[in-house]
Amino acid sequence: MSDLPARIDIQEEGPREGFQIEPGPIATDRKIALIDALTETGLKKIQVASFVNPKRVPGWADAGEVVAGFKRKPGVAHHVLWLNEKGLERALACQDIDMFGSISTTTSETFMGMNTNRGFAENVVVQRNQIATYKQHGVPVTRASIMTAFGCNFEGDIAPARVVERLEELIGLAEDEAVDIKIISLADTVGWATPRSVKQVVGAVRDRWPDKRICLHLHDTRGCGIANVYAGLELGVDLYDASVAGLGGCPFAGHKGAAGNVCTEDMVFMCEEMGIETGIDLEALIEAARLAEDIVGHDLPGKVMRGGALSALRREAKARARRA
């Protein structure tokens, strides 16, 4: 009936996503406290900061201090985001940061134009240059990402064939440059996905590239996030981006009211309850989610941090049964 994976990997994006979008300033030591808490949960990949123009993203003006300050732990890869060579150079100057390169495109030239002022043709040049820069710095290029893979606020519905076509171009140029893309990341950038479109797009991409690992980057804009995760699980997709407590939102044009990524601890709860291993300590992650909420100073959308895990209830139920 389905092909649920035995285990999945979750890439935590909460700190980077969340602190970029919050309106108020957040103290550097609070950002570090959240990263340190997440590092102890069993998460293996955590995106901790964004090396971007502080004039455009003031929430990350302290990226350098954050990256200098958090505790490293063997087996946990901390990585950072950058959008240009200057950002990459700042990242390269950091100690103990997991460096991997990513190339990207969108399904929608309108969306791309609105957000990066590029067309598809120009993006090919930019991505090719990006690969050259990565090579120059010895950074492995492992990931090809496609935004608006399930629909676009400007171009509407997107056929799965278009996703494949845009990825052909992107992965084709990687192959031209002798770069081996291991992961294809499908992003529901503006929250159009439903379980049906997840199945259609993942199916089409997997048919074309059966040997590459698929990652789903899902936003919970219209409440389908966790159902979309479940649709991915049913297809055996075993790599997901997520955001603790549901931190974040979408900084893109034309996208008011956007919710953040799917909530990490809600996803961990669902997976572990279904026997899918995540390697994550749910109770510790719930504590981190509560810390995130305390740091931003307002309610965040995560549910299981309010509803609670089931382990304590199970223990009490067993003790009650013994007493009876």
* Residues annotated as catalytic (active site), given as ranges: 250
Closest CA to 148 of 202, 105, 113, 199: 105
Is 296 near its own copies (CB under 8 A)?
no
Q: Which is nearer to its own copies, 125 or 319 (CB)?
A: 319
Q: Which amino acid is at 178?
A: A
Stretch that binds its own copies, among 93-101, 121-129, 152-160, 289-297 (CB under 8 A): 152-160
Helical spans, DSSP H, in the chain: 14-21, 28-39, 63-69, 85-92, 109-116, 120-136, 160-176, 195-208, 225-234, 264-273, 282-296, 304-307, 311-323
Which structure tokens are listed for 237?
Answer: 């997709």
Q: What is the 3-state secondary structure (H, E, C) of 162-223?
A: HHHHHHHHHHHHHHHCCCCCCEEEEEECCCCCCHHHHHHHHHHHHHHCCCCEEEEEEECCCC
Is 14 near its own copies (CB under 8 A)?
no
Is 318 near its own copies (CB under 8 A)?
yes
Q: Report, in Å, the least distance between residue 248 CB and its own copies.
A: 14
* Dihedral sign from CA coordinates of 99, 105, 110, 113: positive
Interatomic CA distance for residues 194 and 187, integer angstroms = 13
| Binding residue for its own copies, selected from 251, 274, 283, 294, defined by CB under 8 A | 274
Is 206 near its own copies (CB under 8 A)?
no
Is 293 near its own copies (CB under 8 A)?
no
Is 299 near its own copies (CB under 8 A)?
yes
Stretch that binds its own copies, among 93-101, 126-134, 172-180, 255-263 (CB under 8 A): 255-263
Stretch that binds its own copies, among 17-25, 41-49, 113-121, 153-161 (CB under 8 A): 153-161
Interatomic CA distance for residues 285 and 317, integer angstroms = 23
Q: Which is nearer to its own copies, 214 or 250 (CB)?
A: 250
Is 163 near its own copies (CB under 8 A)?
no
Is 306 near its own copies (CB under 8 A)?
yes
Closest CA to 194 of 153, 161, 164, 149: 149
Stretch that binds its own copies, among 13-21, 22-30, 54-62, 254-262 (CB under 8 A): 254-262
Is 229 near its own copies (CB under 8 A)?
yes
Interface residues toward its own copies, by CB under 8 A: 1, 110, 151-157, 191-192, 194-197, 199, 220-224, 226-227, 229-231, 257-259, 263, 266, 269-270, 273-275, 299, 301-304, 306-308, 310, 313-314, 316-318, 320-321
